[in-house]
Structure 1
Amino acid sequence: MSERDDRLFELVRAATVHLLPADGKDSPLWGSGFFVAPGWVLTAAHVLRPHLAADRTTVFRVRGEGIDAEARLAEWLITDPRSPKVPLAEDLALVRLTGEHLHECVWLTDRAARHTGALKACGYYPGPPEAHFRIVDAWINGHEDTYGLIIKSDIDIPSGMSGGPLLDPETGAVVGLIKSRRKDKDGGKAVAVAALRRFGETYRTVMADHDRWHGEEPMSQSGDNWVELQHGPADGQGAVWTPRDRREALALLAALPPPPDEPTVKVIAKMARSGNQWPGATPELRTWRDGHGLLYEGTAPLDPLTFLRYLRLVEAHACARDAGSPLLARWIERRLRRDTRRYMHAYARDVSLPGELRPPPEADGPERVVISYPGPGEGPVVALLLDPVIGAQPVRFFWQIWYDDGDGLPEVHETDASVRGYRPDELVQALRVPLGGLLESKDREGHPVPLEVALPAEYFDTAVHRWRFADIAALNDPGHLGARRRLVLRALERRGEPDNLWIDRWRSMTAGRRFQGWRIPPPGVVDATGYRTAELDRIPVMCRPAGQGTGRVAMKHALSGGHSVALWHIGPHPERGACLPECDTLHARVEKFLETLGSLAELPDRLRHVRQDISEQRPDSTWAEPLALLYDDPRRPLPGEEIETVDAPL
């Protein structure tokens, strides 16, 4: 072992801690963790869950070399605290110290590519008489799902090290977190650092703190600096991207406003690579740092001019929004002067933003831009499938999230791993991270990605447009899903290949430019015949819920009659007797609303505008608050069932 490795391991030790109850000097440890930014500790969620499931505000202790402080859970990725096991992709938790303390922080890799090969597993294990720090050799010989790392079976991971860091001694970066040892065997599992990105906005905050802290070149008590101990090529003629270059660049990027959306980072990173795609799938890209992490081949950074071109494009993006960084611009020029290949500097210097990354033009007057709903190949769509658990009373749902990027076939993003499913009132909390995080990452500036929620028709009155994933929304940002994005319902029973009646009616309606409401159930119509022969410019409208009684029968006939668009009121309605006076008002307002459409594809966004008015408490818009919208495009059918229906567990 080299002197450099010994010094690096001392820094890892100084940044690694163990977690234990707030009271009692000799209390047993819960598990390990490590500092990733000032005041921020990363650990495994399963380490904290047994102690915090009943009360997540419980105070506990973080103890390590030179640190003994109170802390609280800031956030974890667990969606179902009742589940006996924490899924691998959810086994992360961020802990916040309750006061300010001086401490070391690890360096987290910016590369999203998962590690393979030799590592050092670090953490604490129980005494007696007290917990002890330990570093053991580990080897990653496989991957699991999106974020999993498989630790070779002949590696001994002592109990208590769960939540500790996995250090790559070759690059001097932490690449993962220990999840678990194998029961009664050697080896185990770990979670790649890239899973941190699932924390969304909190990830942005933590990583900005991380990069700013390291950018100040802090020295440990031993006089060492984390980045200075990292292996990297010599600076030479400026023709290599060194660990010091990376540290300074990431600190400058952390000072910029974060990217408005994931596609912006993807476009800029691809431009920096001369249009060439990086190997493997595209990870979540929530920060400018994440785009920097795409400029590698394996563990080796690409040519420095590639990184400088990326930085110049990011700086141009910021300047176009009056948020440019003179510090970043000057640093790019200084770094270019160190590179002796003058004839190649134009590659990094002469860049311009493509039209899609320029700020949208200011709208003239109060008129809003209407965004058409995407058809096949016309843009991204997120779909949430809610499948009722057979035999469950009251109703429970299993969920599945699909993503269609508009360039190919839709793919499963995440599937419910629970055993019993979720009650309707539990769905928002369960979907907060997997669905809320996906929507946030796929939103374009000024173009939030549409969301389709597929349910059996009998559950069409589920008020998904009222869901809210953010506990606190910005004052200028409508917090509810229906006000934030185009949100439509789809009929789950239609999944798979569409029938000709459905396709033909859709084709005729999308060719039209004028539409009118058709009040259903129509007087005297008791079977599906009238629904099949309804005029092609008619959009069924109900002033009653679609999931029960007369409304449920009417919706069933509408679906069997090939109708793919409908509006209805999810609130209460007398089951027997005449409609209420407000029913006539609703139909009249819907009729006036439909007159604003120039095409069928405008309907979801036009309704979103009205919902936004409601969210902003604008007058004369509350009539639409209980409205739900079916928008069921047969050209993009829901994926068919691949497994048999799961019954409710006993």
Structure 2
Amino acid sequence: MIDGFGRGAPGASDDTRRALVDLVMAATVRIHGPEHGYASDRPGDGSGGFLGSGFFIAPSWVLTCAHVAMRGEGREVTVIFETGPGSGETSVSGTVVAALPEASHDTGGRLPVMSGGWPAPDLALVRLGRPVEHACVYVTERPAAFFGGGQVLYSGWTEVGGRLKRLSGQCAVQGTVGGWADPDEQMRLGGDVLPPGVSGGPTVDLTRGEVVGVLKSQLVGGMGGTSIGVERLRSLPVPGAMAGAESDDDYQAVFHAHDRYHADRHTSRVGRGWTWTDVQSGLGAGADRALSPQQRVILLGALAKLPPPVSTHSLLDLLVRLPGVHSVDRYPAPRSWRDGLGALYETRGGEAALELLLRYCMSVIAAERPYVTQSTASAEEELWKWVKWTADDRLSREFRNEITRLWSASRHRTDREQRRAAPAYGERPRDGERPFVLLELEPRGWERDSYDWRVGVARHTGEVQPVAEDSRGTPGHALRARLTASLTEAFRRCDEPDSPAVLQVAVVQALLGLDVDGWQLSADEPPLGVVRPVVVRCSDHEPPASEDEARERRARWSRAWSAAMRAEIVDCEDGLRVPVPTEEDLRSLAYETVPVLCRYADRPDAETAAGLARVVRGGFHIALLRRGKDQPDVVCEDFHRHAVDTVAEAGTADQLPRKIHELRQGVRAGRAETYWSDGVALFYDDPLHPLPGSGQLLEAP
């Protein structure tokens, strides 16, 4: 590990400790309802009433709990703070721009607002309505699970003697609630009473001198409570389109402003008093680290002047291309340049650690940009100068020569414009080579309508990186809500701007009609099938194919990818339902054929299920399934014509998921010419990416 968990020096001075408390208290605010007149310092409910605590995370941005901020009227609150002893209070209006989680359609657009009752992660971002001078905390760039010691400092507001008073204290870290891949993981705190009102206040790692969490709840009738890690902010909604400015993504805007704020105060020649960097240095937070607190704050400030990564996927790709970095599987995944830096703290030690960080910086300089500004070129050069100065001071001539060549190549490769067509680190993959999200649903045979599930990110190498799973049994009616956080995280790891990743849903054959493409993950979001391509595949364990059968199946799949496909209706003739042909007859169809089951329905009967099984055994990995209520007297000709045309228009197999996606978007948008496709599912069982545990053997085609 780069920093050996950054154990601070046990002999930190009392002045350093007092300075840390002062910095935390200066950035801690109290949150009231919207002002109708003056917001009193007395507790109460209603207009202007005290709601809880929060803290300045960046200039003009406050972080607090959702159960605190969402008690305001129409997402409006009042933020009250002091800039220093005797400075007097400042009151400013603010708007809740994001709450995690937002209200869902399952709760009628409302969520509980009692203390601690909001579902995790229970975080809210408040943007101030006017510019004011204020202090900001320093936020860790790595998950809170990697705190430096056993004690944390907290700060907040509460009622004392009928008036609101600020307070601080210390708690012992006693463990966690939930697992590392659980979206509601929380840090357990003990050793002190957390009084009402402190919810939303900061939790500070006393060893490193950085904020690691937000107080969520207090233990009723006991000591301590829980804290949510600040890294949960990475699950803020990601813009679907390519960002054109820093302000298009609240997460990037907040942390870029945060890092520039601290870098500016560290390098200022006119500032007086302790800075967060001074305190971290006094605590010995740089002990055993590749970078001192001073070097780190300058580096983060330089990274914050660059446009952010194009996507989480592109950042993960950049990280794993670094030497010795095999995976970055922390939950939630890194999203910004600062997150990527934090992810590298666990990778190496010694001189190799610094080399790795500097290689990362060179990759950032050469990375694809979502946009460029007038200052992007100078920001790249500033980062290069920092890298060169650091390498000249501490590393070998061989390494210095290598990064100089990288800088020269980067300058000649880029014209400072967006490089979407040719990323600096390789060719852009085709759809079939891109990572996709895999959702596996396994019925619990002994429990009616109950499922175990797994969510993972599948890569073209065949590797499936797990995101989350649950083998305790989830009722069918609760699947969508239970899967929302895990699917959202998996999508963020795969999506590119304007190009959402495919969701593959693996179920037993009897459930292929499951309407996963109709799920809404949030009240204000369209169904999954409208947002992204959604396909289904079969998880039933089939008898092993013979060598000849396996060769034929690979040939059919390869042909569908290289030749123009054509559809074949296999269960309906002249509007009448007919049995699906025998396997022998199906094998006589051209390799580029896509079978269409017009009479599949939501819950197929035994004959329909047997027909699809014959299609699969016949070597076909792609088929269109018409779901919905099977109506024997319905006229099918229009569906047949459109299905044939759609397959032909898609051309090759890699384009068919996107084509079905476009049709679902058309149905949602009310385009009558797409209504024929309502309910169509795409069976897409990729033999080059077998399901985990399927035992399928692959050969080169």
Report if aligned partners of 1:199, 1:437 keep a CA contact under 8 Å in 2. Answer: no
Instruction: Give how far 1:531 is off.
Output: 6.5
Give the alignment of 1:558-637 within 5 angstroms: 558-563=611-616, 564-569=621-626, 575-577=631-633, 579-590=635-646, 592-593=648-649, 596-597=651-652, 600=653, 603-605=656-658, 607=660, 627-633=680-686
Deviates more, 1:508-517 or 1:193-202: 508-517
Pick aligned residue for 1:104 from 92, 114, 135: 135
1:145 equivalenced with 2:201 (yes/no): no
Establish whether residue 169 from structure 1 lines up as the match of residue 206 from structure 2.
yes
Contact kept? 2:502, 2:532, Cα under 8 Å: yes
The residue matched to 1:104 in structure 2 has which SS? Answer: coil
Q: CA deviation at 1:17?
A: 1.8
Shift, 1:460, TM fit: 2.7
Identity of aligned residues (%): 25
The verdict on how the C-alpha distance between 1:624 and 1:151 changes in structure 2, with shifts beyond 3 A counting, is: closer
Secondary structure, in 3 states, of the residue corresponding to 2:586? coil
C-alpha contact 2:174 2:190 (8 A) present in aligned 1: no
Distance 2:291 2:78 in 1: 40
Contact 1:383–1:451 (Cα < 8 Å) also in 2: yes
Distance 1:436 1:297, change over 3 A: closer
Query: In 2, distance between residues paired with 1:170 and 1:412?
Result: 30
Contact 1:73/1:95 (<8 A) preserved: yes
Q: Greater CA deviation, 114-123 or 146-155?
A: 146-155
Q: Which residue of 1 aligns with 2:76?
A: 59
Do structure 1's residue 488 and structure 2's residue 535 form an aligned pair? yes
Aligned to 2:122: 91
Of 307-316 and 16-25, deviating more is 16-25
Does the 8 Å CA contact 2:152/2:206 hold for their aligned counterparts? yes
Q: Deviation string for 1:158-209 (max 9, x for gaps)?
A: 3332221111233221111222233322233222222221114432222122
Partner of 1:128: 161
CA distance, structure 1, for counterparts of residue 19 and residue 127 of structure 2: 27
Q: Retained in 2: the 8 A contact 1:43–1:164?
A: yes
Give the Cα–Cα distance (whole angstroms) in 2 for the partners of residues 86 and 506 of structure 1: 53
Tell me which residue corresponds to 1:325: 377
Further displaced range: 407-416 or 208-217 = 407-416
Are 2:362 and 1:312 aligned?
yes
SS in 1 for 2:385: helix
Q: How does 1:471-482 map to 2 (within 5 A)?
A: none
Distance 2:98 2:569 in 1: 48
What secondary structure does 1:90 align onto?
coil
Tell me which amino acid in the other structure corresponds to 1:259: P
Q: For residues 234 and 13 of structure 1, what CA distance do their matches in structure 2 show?
A: 21
**1:194 equivalent in structure 2:** 231
Q: Specify every segment of 5 or more residues in structure 2 that has no aligned partner in the other structure, as ranges.
A: 1-12, 45-49, 83-88, 239-249, 694-701
- Deviations, residues 41-91 of structure 1 (Å, cap 9, x unaligned): 212234456x36xx7x24233333333333332222226765877687522
Matched letter for residue 110 of structure 1: E
178-187 vs 414-423, greater mean Cα deviation: 414-423
Identify if the C-alpha distance between structure 1 residues 299 and 131 changes in structure 2 by more than 3 Å, giving closer, same or farther: farther
Distance 1:507 1:348, change over 3 A: closer
Pairing 1:284–2:333 present: yes
SS in 1 for 2:381: helix
Deviates more, 1:158-167 or 1:59-68: 59-68
User: Does structure 1 residue 32 correspond to structure 2 residue 53?
Assistant: yes
For the structure 1 residues 544 and 98, does the alpha-carbon distance in structure 2 shift closer, same or farther, using more than 3 Å as the test? Answer: farther
1:439 maps onto 2:491 in alignment: yes
Aligned 8 A contact 2:277 2:293 in 1: yes
* Corresponding position of 1:68: 91
Take 2:122 and 2:470, find their aligned partners in 1: how far apart are those partners? Answer: 16
Which consecutive residues of structure 1, in runs of 5 or more, have no partner in the other structure? 364-368, 473-478, 641-650
Name the amino acid aligned to 2:295: D
Q: Which amino acid aligns with 1:166?
A: T
SS at match of 1:265: helix
**For residues 333 and 30 of structure 1, do their structure 2 counterparts lie closer, same or farther at Cα, with a shift above 3 Å needed?**
same
CA contact (8 A) 1:106 1:173 kept: yes
1:4 is matched with which residue: 16, 31, 34? 16
Structure 1 SS opposite 2:299: helix
Q: 1:150 deviation in Å?
A: 3.7
1:268-308 deviation digits (Å, cap 9, x = unpaired): 44566x43458984751211111111332599997555433
Would the aligned equivalents of 1:18 and 1:33 in 2 still touch at CA under 8 Å?
yes
TM-score normalised per structure 2: 0.70
* Alignment correspondent of 1:509: 556
Alpha-carbon contact 1:18-1:64 (below 8 Å) kept? yes
Q: Tell me which amino acid in the other structure corresponds to 1:257.
A: P
Q: Deviations over 1:242-273 (max 9, x none)?
A: 3233222222222222112334333544566x
CA contact (8 A) 1:234 1:242 kept: no
Aligned residue among 244, 251, 256 for 1:208: 256
Displacement of 1:38 after TM fit? 2.0
Q: What SS class does the counterpart of residue 345 from structure 1 fall into?
A: helix
| Matches of 1:327 and 1:541, distance apart in 2 | 55
SS of the equivalent of 1:373 reads helix
Q: How far 1:467 moved relative to its partner?
A: 6.3
Helix, strand or coil at the partner of 2:131:
coil
State the 1:510 CA deviation: 2.3
**Matched-pair contact (CA < 8 Å) for 2:325–2:347:** no
Among 358, 368, 373, which residue is 2:432 paired with?
373
The CA deviation at 1:36 is: 0.6
1:255 — aligned with what? 305
- In 2, Cα distance between equivalents of 1:419 and 1:468: 16
Q: Is the alpha carbon distance of 1:554 and 1:468 closer, same or farther for their aligned partners in structure 2, counting shifts above 3 Å?
A: farther
**Partner residue in 2 for 1:350:** 405
Work out the CA distance in 1 between the residues paired with 2:80 and 2:348: 33
Q: Between 529-538 and 57-66, report the one with greater CA deviation.
A: 529-538
Corresponding residue SS for 1:231: helix
Tell me the equivalent position of 1:476: none
Taking a change above 3 Å as real, the CA distance of residues 68 and 480 of structure 1, as seen in their structure-2 partners, is same
2:513 is matched with: 460
Instruction: Decide whether the 8 Å contact of 2:204 with 2:211 is kept in 1.
Output: yes
CA RMSD of superposed structures (Å): 5.0
